[in-house]
Amino acid sequence: MGILEKFKLDGKRAFVTGGARGIGRSIVTAFLEAGADVAIVDTDIAEARRAADELKSIGPRVIAIEADVTDQAQVERMVAEVVSTFGELNVAYCNAGICINAKAEEMTFEQWRKVMAVNADGVFLCAQAAGRQMIKQGKGGSIISIASMSAHIVNFPQPQCAYNASKAAVIHLSKSLAVEWVGKNIRVNTISPGYIATELITRSPELTDLIAEWEKQIPMHRLGRPDELQAISVYLASDSSLYTTGSDFVIDGAFTCV
C-alpha cells in the first residue's frame, strides 16, 4: 500500500463532537473528503443538521446527532446511533470544549465545574464509550481528543485557570488510555492547537484587542486556521499512524517555543 493510500479513510466510521462549527466542522469536512462516514455531534442540533446538509455534496454518509457530552446516557446513545447507522465505529474525535475567562479569585465553583465537565468529563465519557465499542468490535480504532497549547503554557493576559487545567487533564487522560488499550489496538492521541481563528473568535468584538495581543506573541504573527488542523487529524484517524499512540501534537505557530 502506497503512502497516499494509507491516508485514505475509506471504510472508516467516525463521530466528531462539537462538529457543527469551527474546528469540529473543519475536521468533519476533512474526514468526509478522505472517505469516512461521519456523525456530526453537537448540542445545537439545528446547526448540526444544517452542516450535514451542506456537506452531503462531499460525502453523503454524514448525519447529525444531538448529544451533550457531559451526560453519560446521551453519550452512550450517541455511540449506539452511530453504530446503528454506519455499522461500526472506528474513529472518535473528541472536540467539544468551552473556555470561561475569569480571575481565579473571582471564578465561581459552578464556572469551574462547567469547564471541567465539558472539557475533561466530556472527553472521558466519549472516549470511554468509544473504547468500549471498539473493544467489542475487536478491530481496534483511533480516539483523538482536542487538548490545547494551554495544557503546556499559561496564556496571558486572559485568566483561564479552569481551561488550562482541563486541557492538561485531557492530555494525561489520553496517555493513560493509550497505555491501557494498546493491547486492544486502540490508539489514543491528542492535538494541542494554539490560537485558531474560528468564527466564534474572529467575530467577537470583545476579543479584538486580545487577538492583536496574541498576534504579537505568536512567532508567525497570525492565528492558525481551522483547516490547518486537518492534516494531523486525518493522519491520526488513518492507518498511516498505526504506531502512533499516547502522543500529543502541538500545532501553534511556534507559540510554545518562546
**For the segment 205-216, what is each residue's pLDDT rounded down to a tens digit?**
888 999 999 999
Interior CA angle at 216 toward 213 and 220, to 5°?
135
**Is 139 assigned a catalytic role?**
no
Q: Supply the pLDDT for residue 37.
A: 98
The reply to whether 148 belongs to the active site is yes
Q: Which is the catalytic residue, given 26, 167, 192, 238?
A: 167
Number of alpha carbons in the 13 Å side-chain half-sphere of residue 227: 2
| Distance separating alpha carbons of residues 75 and 46, to the nearest angstrom | 18
Name the grid cell of 95. Answer: 472536540
Question: In whole numbers, what is the pLDDT of the chain averaged over residues?
Answer: 97
Which residue among the candidates 26, 145, 148, 238 is catalytic per the annotation? 148
- Domains defined for the chain, CATH in brackets: 3-250 (3.40.50.720)
**Spatial separation of the C-alpha atoms in residues 72 and 124, rounded to whole Å:** 10
Q: Which of 161, 147, 202 is nearest to 21 (CA)?
A: 202
Active-site entry in 142, 145, 150, 163:
163
Contacts of 84 (CB under 8 A, 6+ apart): none
Question: In the predicted model, is pLDDT for residue 60 greater than 90?
Answer: no
pLDDT at residue 123 above 90? Answer: yes
Q: Give the rounded percent of residues in the chain with a pLDDT score beyond 90.
A: 95
Distance between alpha carbon 136 and the CA centroid of its chain, in Å?
23
Q: What is the mean pLDDT of residues 134-158?
A: 97
Q: Indicate if the pLDDT at residue 204 is higher than 90.
A: no
Identify the pLDDT of residue 205.
Answer: 87
